[in-house]
Chain A
Amino acid sequence: MPTPDEVYEQVLAEETAKGSSPAVAQARAKAARVRASRGAKDPSKPDSATAPRKAPAGEGAAQAKPAEGGGGPAEAKPAAAAATAKPAAAAGRPAARAAGGGGGAKKAVGNGGPAVPERVQRLLAVVKPEAIQKVERRPMDRVNVWPHLMAAEFVSLLVVLAAVTFFSIAVDAPLRELSNFNQTPNPSKAPWYFLGLQELLRYFHPQVAGVTIPQVIIIILFAFPFIDRNPSTRPDDRKLAIVIFSFFMLSFAVLTTIGMFFRGPGFNWVYPWESGIFFEL
């Protein structure tokens, strides 16, 4: 099995011997190299996947008329072009003409049927085979957003709207007496999302609990995608990350719950089932 580079040299030599122009010879040699590197059986010829389909039996190259472009057999045109290109190239026709038909389906734009053999073809562009991107995308099961996704979104929206509305009818938002700066309520608590930090104030110096810890948390949150370099999204592959994240979420939840329900006057420990709840949302 020759290496791709050997295939390149070989095809280049063949094409030059055939009398193809340097550009065409190089393009074909590169195409052969790409085919060789993809593992094609016979890299010097276009493989069956990319080669133009064979014209149906009985409709040979000689019968394919150029006027056939309109409705019927669309495949007939490239097939005819490919069928005529080989002899044309071998006979040492102008290189541009050969390129119009020879280089597989992508270049087989020619209407070079045999009916008008002397038509001059212009070479518009030589597309290097490397420039053709092979998109690696696995086929994926996809569904229409309308109605499948939007129906689900609409239902969940209505459910939440109904829940909030019913809750708002049942429970009134707190409005205590007018603020009085001379009378500190006991206990005075922060809004619930800061109660975890207020709880930390019991254990750490204010500068640590009120500034350092939140800042470190924010910085770590920002930097998280760059700290966790593990490319996998499967839970089995990222146990450590999940454990660490869950630990922080859980401790935040526990601290907040303690701050909400288990802290009474003086922010001292109480049990809500004994002395009630000192907390308002």
Chain B
Amino acid sequence: MAKAEGRFNPRERMSAVMDMLHGSQLWRAIFRPGSIFRRGYADSPRNRAYVVMNSLLYHLHPVKVKRHGIKLSYTLCLGGLSFFLFILLTITGIYLMFFYRPSVEVVYSDMQRIHTQVSFGLLVRNLHRWGAHLMTISVFLHMARVFYTGAYKPPREFNWIVGVILLLLTLLLAFTGYLLPWDQLAVWAVTVGTEMMKNTPVIGDQVQFALLGGPIIGAETLLRWYTLHVLLLPFVIVIFISIHFWRVRKDGGISGPM
């Protein structure tokens, strides 16, 4: 129609721009063939395979899985949710690191500042704390699920061992993080926890000294546990998570059916 010509039509403009974007070399360089973001993605068996095969996902998931494995009642998604919570904790933890100094003189005022002055500081701290408790629970439950489905049996024995290491690392991460608020709750909970380790036969005092960086909890302990919590333990746990995921694939994917 001659009337509509020359008039600004936002929908047409928009689709023209999107077409140009999807056809651009940059777009095609980023999204590999088979990506759902490519132009002309059609829901075909070939493209369903390409979505996984031609992306980073292929390191995590195969193209196809056993049908019983996607039933929610088999895995309850616990392993995947533990990993998701770990990512959530990494993101919120990095945000908290912007405002937190692990030094006895300023640490508690930093905590108060996070609560009162930092944008979304309290919310992010809440997410970090509740997410941490939830991750501990979900790792525990994931272990129970693996036991009840017999998924630790050959050829998956080694991955069970890696899983136990991951459970211990999760507990260590939770415990080292527990001290960092430096309030009465944190300090005395850690005191109770480390008092137990002092009972290690023969080297008990040395164990406690190494953990606390001194005979009692103090500035050394805070710095030491902070470093463990934000650097060393996440580094180690990422390595073991990678091994864990890799072995799931190598040991034949999801276990079962029972």
Contacts and interface: CB of A to CB of B under 8 A. Distances in A.
B16 interface: no
A167 B153 CA distance: 37
Contacts of B66: 140-142
Interface string B187-198: 111011101111
B81 A164 contact: no
A172 B52 CA distance: 40
Given A145-B61, A178-B183, A191 B153 contact: no
B72 A144 contact: no
Contact of B52 (A145, A157, A206): A145
Interface string B179-190: 001111111110
A3 to B, nearest CB: 34
Interface in B146-199: 147-154, 156-157, 160-161, 164, 167-168, 171, 174-175, 178, 181-189, 191-193, 195-199
A211 B256 CA distance: 36
A268 interface: no
A176 interface: yes
B192 A231 contact: no
B200 interface: yes
A161 B185 contact: no
A238 interface: yes
A175 B49 CA distance: 49
**Range, interface on chain B:** 35 or more
Contacts of B57: 145-146, 150
Contact of B193 (A143, A156, A190): A190
Interface string A129-173: 000000000001111111111101100110011001101110111
B126 A142 contact: no
A78 to B, nearest CB: 29
Interface in B185-217: 185-189, 191-193, 195-201, 216-217
A193 B174 contact: yes
A207 to B, nearest CB: 5
Contact of B189 (A141, A164, A189, A201): A189
B193 A194 contact: yes
Given A225-B152, A245-B147, A178 B108 contact: yes
- Interface of B (DSSP majority class): helix
Contacts of B164: 218, 221-222
B158 to A, nearest CB: 8
A2 interface: no
Nearest to A231: B153
B192 to A, nearest CB: 4
Contacts of A211: 196-197, 199-201
Given A198-B192, A207-B199, A144 B49 contact: yes
Contacts of A184: 188
A175 B183 contact: yes
B63 interface: yes
Interface in A191-214: 191-194, 197-198, 201, 206-207, 209-211
B81 to A, nearest CB: 6
B8 to A, nearest CB: 37
Pairs of residues from A and B, 8 with the lowest C-beta to C-beta distance, nearest first: A233-B150, A210-B196, A168-B126, A225-B157, A179-B187, A188-B188, A173-B129, A146-B51
Interface of B: 45, 48-49, 51-52, 57, 61-70, 72, 77, 80-81, 84-85, 88, 108, 111-112, 115, 122-123, 125-131, 133-134, 136, 144, 147-154, 156-157, 160-161, 164, 167-168, 171, 174-175, 178, 181-189, 191-193, 195-201, 216-217, 255-256, 258
8 contacts: A142-B66, A148-B70, A168-B123, A185-B185, A194-B175, A197-B196, A211-B196, A211-B200
